[in-house]
Amino acid sequence: MTARNPADLFSEALALPVSERAAFLDNACGGDAALRAEIESLLAALPAARKLFDGAPHLAADDGSSPDPALGLALGPWRLCERIATGGMGAVYRGERVDAAFRKQVAVKIISPWLDGADIVERFRRERQVLADLEHPHIARLLDGGATPDGRPYLVMEFVDGEPIDRYADEARLSVAERLRLFLTVCEAVQFAHRNLVIHRDLKPGNILVDRDGQVKLLDFGIAKVLGGESTADSNAASGPDLTMPAAMTPRYASPEQVLGHRVTTATDVYSLGVLLCELLSGASPYEMPTLMTPAAARVICESEPTRPSRVAARQDAAFAARREHSPARLAQALAGDLDNIVLKTLRKDPERRYASVDELAEDIRRHLDGLPVLAAPDRLSYRAGKFLRRHRSLTIATTATVALLATALVVSIGALRRAEMQTREAQQLAYVNSLAAAESALRENAVEEAAGRLEAAPAALRGWEWRHLEARLDRSLVTVRAHEQGITCVRYAPDSAAVFTSSLDGTIREWDATTGAARRTWGPLGESVESVAVAPDGTWLVAGLNDGRVVILDRAAVAAPVVLHEGSGWASVAVSPMAAGSPRRTVTDSCACGTRPRAS
For the four alpha carbons of 419, 420, 426 and 429, in that order, the dihedral sign comes to negative
Rounded CA-CA distance 265/261 in Å is 12
Rounded CA-CA distance 539/518 in Å is 18
Rounded CA-CA distance 171/209 in Å is 13
What lies within 8 Å, CB to CB, of 163 at 6+ separation is 171, 209, 210
Question: What is the phi-psi region of residue 212: left when phi exceeds 0, alpha when psi lies from -120 to 50, beta otherwise?
Answer: alpha
Write phi, then psi, for 146 (nearest 5 degrees).
175, -150
Of 312, 307, 369, give the one whose Cα is nearest residue 338: 369
Q: Helix 266-282 to helix 338-346 angle, to the nearest 10 degrees?
A: 140
Strand, coil or helix: 591: strand
| Burial class of 254 by CB neighbour count within 10 A (0 to 12, 13 to 18, 19+) | buried
Contact indicator for 486, 505 with CB cutoff of 8 Å = yes
Run of H or E residues at 122: helix 118-133
Run of H or E residues at 95: strand 90-97
Rounded CA-CA distance 201/290 in Å is 20
Contact indicator for 264, 199 with CB cutoff of 8 Å = yes
Contact indicator for 25, 13 with CB cutoff of 8 Å = yes
Other Cβ atoms within 10 Å of 280 Cβ, number: 23
Rounded CA-CA distance 82/59 in Å is 18
Other Cβ atoms within 10 Å of 8 Cβ, number: 20
Instruction: Give 501's strand partners.
Output: 492, 511
How distant, in Å, are the alpha carbons of 478, 483, 507, 553 from that of 511?
17, 10, 14, 15
Residue type for position 66: S
Does the annotation count 8 as an active-site position? no
What lies within 8 Å, CB to CB, of 320 at 6+ separation is 1, 283, 328
| Burial class of 380 by CB neighbour count within 10 A (0 to 12, 13 to 18, 19+) | exposed
Q: Active-site residue among 8, 170, 202, 590?
A: 202
What lies within 8 Å, CB to CB, of 292 at 6+ separation is 7, 251
Write phi, then psi, for 446 (nearest 5 degrees).
65, 25
**Which residues carry out catalysis?**
202
